[in-house]
Amino acid sequence: MRFKLIINPIAGGRKGKTLTEKILERLRTWGISFEHEFSRYIGHATEIARQSAKRFDAIVAMGGDGTVNEVLNGIFGYDVPLGILPVGRGNDFFKTINTSRLLDVIIKPLIEAPRIKMTDVGKINNRYFMNVAGVGFDAMVATIAEPIRFLGPIAYLGSALIGLMKNKGISLKLNIDGEKIDLNALMVAIANGKYFGGGMKIAPDASPWDGKFDVCLIENVPSLEILKTLPKVYTGKHTNHPKVKMLKAEHIEVLSSEKIPAEMDGEVFYTDKIILDIVPKSVPLILSQT
């Protein structure tokens, strides 16, 4: 197979750059046929992916979740396999599909005959996402964390503490597969993968192959209660809290009376309405044989 590697040169900071150099050298040493190109601005990876989709046997996103998201939006509909080489700070979607951190295991699918599996993706307001979308607290925290992303997972945790001081909750009207819900929410997360925020296990049972979102509804609670519960998100134990409700769904509508922060694979935007649909088995994903 001929691979096109689309590389985010700033993903992962200094560690990401070192890992990128190691991966490229390993691929050359092993005689893998590939071309690579560096993205230079927001949206550039999408442009490169769209231009490359018909000319290569597979497109590989080399970066973090944001890079994967951009490449996904470039190749969607072309039926070209997507590979992921995780060199970002979070790499949350990769944690769902591969638990290994060993370099050789991560690269292995590009060396041997890759196993390709058709994978679900989410659609949100005419864009696609691979991992998690959400509204409320998580999006606010992502906004706060943006200038200090170089700190890695600690950036999200520290920003969450700052977010507690700003949190007032948001009033939402939800339509979840036809079920109408009014919610004074801390946040709503719509998950295709298990993790977000640099390793938080927001949806422990999520699978990108079951044709469903895992929806995490969290009612607003006092800041002290959030502070006590926040560490449990790293293990997925937050789902036992009485103010947390987990649902499976294919179609979700979220309405607010004002513009609220929302995020899609870590990209923040503001809106008063989002419509989300699962697009089952829509993208061929390259997986490790192990």
Q: Give the H or E element holding residue 46.
A: helix 44-52
Torsion of CA 221, 222, 226, 227, to 10 degrees: -170
* Element spanning 13, H or E: helix 13-29
* CATH number corresponding to 132-281: 2.60.200.40
Identify which of 70, 69, 79, 27 has the alpha carbon closest to the alpha carbon of residue 285.
79
Burial of 54: CB neighbours in 10 Å, binned 0-12, 13-18, 19+: exposed
Q: Give CA–CA dist 70/68, Å, rounded.
A: 6
What is the pLDDT at residue 289?
Answer: 59
87's CB contacts (< 8 A; 6+ apart) are 8, 11, 12, 16, 19, 20, 23, 62, 63, 64
pLDDT attached to residue 30: 86
CA distance 60 to 158: 32
Q: What is the pLDDT of residue 95?
A: 94
Mapping DSSP to helix (H, G, I), strand (E, B) and coil, where does residue 221 land? coil
Quick one: which of 146, 115, 165 has its CA closest to 285? Answer: 115
CB 288 within 8 A of CB 109: yes
pTM of the predicted model as reported, rounded to 2 decimal places:
0.91
Alpha helices for 53-152 (secondary structure H): 65-75, 92-97, 103-111, 137-145
How big is the chain, counted in residues? 290
In whole angstroms, give the CA distance from residue 256 to residue 270: 11
Residue 162: its H or E element: helix 153-166
Phi, psi (deg, nearest 5) at residue 135: -130, 150
Maximum CA pair distance of the chain?
A: 57
User: Which pLDDT does position 164 carry in this prediction?
Assistant: 74
pLDDT of residue 181: 97
CATH of domain 3-120+283-287: 3.40.50.10330
User: What pLDDT was estimated at residue 288?
Assistant: 74
Domain map (residue ranges) of the chain: 3-120+283-287, 132-281
Number of C-beta neighbours around residue 290 at 10 A: 10
In angstroms, rounded to a whole number, what is the distance separating the alpha carbons of residues 46 and 40? 11
Return the DSSP state at 207: -
Distance of alpha carbon 258 from alpha carbon 21, whole angstroms: 45
- Please give the chain's pLDDT, 290 residues, in tens: 789 999 999 998 888 899 999 999 989 988 888 999 999 999 999 999 999 999 999 999 999 999 999 999 999 999 999 999 999 888 999 999 987 777 877 887 777 777 899 999 999 998 999 999 999 887 887 777 766 666 666 666 677 777 776 778 899 999 999 999 999 999 999 999 999 988 899 999 999 999 999 999 999 988 889 888 988 999 999 999 999 999 999 999 999 999 998 999 988 899 999 999 999 999 999 987 55
Q: Please list, in sequence order, all residues whose beta carbon lies within 8 angstroms of the beta carbon of residue 233, skipping any fewer than 6 positions away.
A: 197, 200, 201, 202
Helix axes 44-52, 65-75, angle to 10 degrees: 40
